[in-house]
Structure 1
Amino acid sequence: MTGVLRPGHVQIRVFDLEESVRFYRDVLGLVETGRDDKGRVYFKCWDERDHNSYIIRQAEEAGIDFFGFKVLNVETLDKLEADLNEYGIETSRMPAGDMLATGERVRFTLPTGHIMELYAEKSAVGNGLTNANPGPWNAASEHGIAPVRLDHMLLYGPNVAANKKIFEEVLGFFLVERVLAEDGEFEAALWLSCSHKVHDIAFVEHPEPGKLHHCSFLMESWEKVLRAGDIMSMNEVSVDIGPTRHGITRGCTIYAWDPSGNRFETFMGGYQPYPDYETITWDWDHFPQGLDYPQRKLHESFLTIVT
């Protein structure tokens, strides 16, 4: 793997910081890794090696501030910034240390209104296991829901077609699946990958810019997803959909909301595409099956509620 490697971090706005810390630490089971002088709290999933992947800050409005993808090295970061500039996208540099344990970040705004970053350096803190003869899990992997990693984001905004061109032509992603609108031509939703994953990011056409649909956390198995559902119920977490299976991506899932109304997903499964695979297309009549394969239902809350 070269170029853009994977989703690296996302910063989310919450209403009550300490309530949200308790939720993400004790219910979702993320590992708190630090706090900074801007009032942000940093987390990572138990099996992630880098210092942070999920950052929260207190605000009057829920939603997403920005998200970042890690790239191979500093040389790749410089080249991608030059490629973005040549394509006509204005970038800026966020200095090393602006985020805890994170190097310089190249920041730019997508046509959908989302702020995206690329970065090459983040301090490695490990997953609590040794690098010599490690065990398969540790105590952190059993605390709360305990996802393995931040897997992907689904974002809502206008002009997803322009986003698609940037991701394909500049950043080296490929289109894995898509949903066509009722006219059979317009691409209403896109699932894009920079790796062997069924998606690293997805976009849905929406009139308001910069909206968050959900951040997704990877679970090891369907049993772990069901256990996550038990933990959600024990803690009276509001659930949107699931447990169920998507037709799109074949993922098995539960969607729920944090205390501020930011949707998150506990996700497992999906197939492993390669860049030479033909894009899978869902027409509008079969979109209910794509969303919820067993019930073949378009859930109104899933389609309309964003932060």
Structure 2
Amino acid sequence: MAITGVLRPGHVAMRVLELKPALKHYVEVLGLVETGRDDKGRVYLKAWDEIDHHSVVLREADEAGLDYMGWKVASAATLQRLAAEVEASGLASDMAWIPAGEHPETGERFRFTVPTGHVMELYADKGKVGNGCGTDGPDINPDPWPDGLKGIAPSRFDHCLLYGDDLDGTVKLFTEVLGFSVAERVMTSADKNFMIAAFLSCSNKAHDVAFIRQPVKGKLHHASFELGSWEKVLRAADILSRTKTSIDLGPTRHGITRGETIYFFDPSGNRNEVFSGGYIFYPDKPAITWFDETLGPAIFYHDRQLNEAFLSVFT
């Protein structure tokens, strides 16, 4: 499949209550690599197999949660085209261009707020720092992984699950303007046209971002990082237990996306996920539909029942 518009999730910017314990969590436990800091006090990190300069941005604030998600697009021309289409859609607000260099090693970004209240941005350029897999560079005779990995060591930042009120408007913007597909959805049985949740893909993954309808604006349920296997998810559980990290749920499997998963919290209460598995998605694949009475196995396939804290705790 030729991906010519939005390529992938590029970065997630999160607020933490205290930077020092947050960094210990994200570097020593989760296993991200610090790549820089700026004069605003923000810290930039990446997963080991990501080539770009950063995929996670942390800043200290009085309230935890999501600042914004960034999306890498195919080219500068694509950035200009999509920015114009977002503006013309009438579905976004608070649109602004962020100048090149406001993030280190990053070109200009087009920022906007979607109907669920989440801030998104598009960008085309980010400096490449490699993954440490080759002595002559990441593209010349590379090894399968680098030395010195810490903690859980996910290979990439993968997706976010977000809570907001105007699910319909946000899905419309992502599908009709940004070119995403609905891979899976949750509908009510009483009104089969009423959507509770949408899992959206801009690639051939089961989802690159997901939204759940809740009477709030701009909330983060979790930021997720990819592991290569169920065995690595179990290893992550061992590391979380050994480091006395607060575990939310798992290890278990999702019905939605088929992914194997474990959820846990950073010291500020932001929920993280590491997962593996899923399936290959292509745009001609019909959307998988779940209904509210099957939400238990849809979310927790093994337990087959909902955990209220999982649904009600967010930042």
TM range (shorter): over 0.9
Q: Does 1:149 align with 2:151?
A: no
Deviations 1:50-107 (A, max 9, x none): 0000010001100001111000010000000111122123521000011111110000
5+ residue gaps, structure 1, are: none
Q: Aligned partners of 2:189 and 2:37: how far apart in 1?
A: 47
Instruction: Give 1:277's aligned amino acid.
Output: K
Deviation at 1:117, TM superposition (A): 0.2
For 1:123, which of 120, 127, 135 is the aligned residue?
127
Q: Aligned partners of 1:182 and 1:154: how far apart in 2?
A: 23
Q: Does 1:290 align with 2:292?
A: no
Q: Does 1:303 align with 2:311?
A: yes
Q: Does 1:46 align with 2:48?
A: yes
TM-score by length of 1: 0.98
Deviation at 1:213, TM superposition (A): 0.2
Deviations 1:228-254 (A, max 9, x none): 100000011111110000000000000
Q: Secondary structure at the match of 1:146?
A: coil
2:259 is aligned to: 251
1:83 is aligned to: 85
For 1:281, which of 267, 279, 289 is the aligned residue?
289
Q: Aligned partners of 1:178 and 1:297: how far apart in 2?
A: 18
Q: Aligned partners of 1:176 and 1:222: how far apart in 2?
A: 22
Q: Secondary structure at the match of 1:177?
A: strand
Instruction: Give 1:128's aligned amino acid.
Output: G
Instruction: Give 1:171's aligned amino acid.
Output: L
Count of matched residue pairs: 306
Alignment of 1:106-255 (within 5 A): 106-130=110-134, 131-140=139-148, 142-185=149-192, 186-255=194-263
Deviation at 1:301, TM superposition (A): 1.1
Q: Secondary structure at the match of 1:167?
A: helix
Deviation at 1:37, TM superposition (A): 0.3
Q: Secondary structure at the match of 1:139?
A: coil
Deviations 1:259-278 (A, max 9, x none): 00000000110011110011
Q: Aligned partners of 1:244 and 1:78: how far apart in 2?
A: 42
2:76 is aligned to: 74
For 1:100, which of 86, 101, 104 is the aligned residue?
104
Q: Aligned partners of 2:63 and 2:164: how far apart in 1?
A: 17
For 1:63, which of 46, 49, 65 is the aligned residue?
65
Where has structure 1 moved over 6 Å in runs of 4 or more? Answer: none
Q: Aligned partners of 1:126 and 1:167: how far apart in 2?
A: 30
TM-score by length of 2: 0.96
Deviation at 1:206, TM superposition (A): 0.8
Deviations 1:8-52 (A, max 9, x none): 001101011011111111111000000000000000000000000
Q: Is the 8 A contact 1:184 1:284 kept in 2?
A: no
The alignment-based identity, stated in percent, is: 55
Q: Is the 8 A contact 1:178 1:282 kept in 2?
A: yes
Q: Aligned partners of 2:55 and 2:279: how far apart in 1?
A: 24
Deviation at 1:175, TM superposition (A): 0.3
Q: Aligned partners of 1:161 and 1:40: how far apart in 2?
A: 33
Q: Secondary structure at the match of 1:228?
A: helix
Q: Aligned partners of 2:218 and 2:286: how far apart in 1?
A: 29
Q: Secondary structure at the match of 1:161?
A: helix
Instruction: Give 1:203's aligned amino acid.
Output: F
For 2:4, which of 2, 12, 28 is the aligned residue?
2
Report the more deviating stretch, 245-254 or 128-137: 128-137
Q: Aligned partners of 2:144 and 2:26: how far apart in 1?
A: 23
Deviation at 1:181, TM superposition (A): 2.7
Q: Aligned partners of 2:88 and 2:17: how far apart in 1?
A: 39
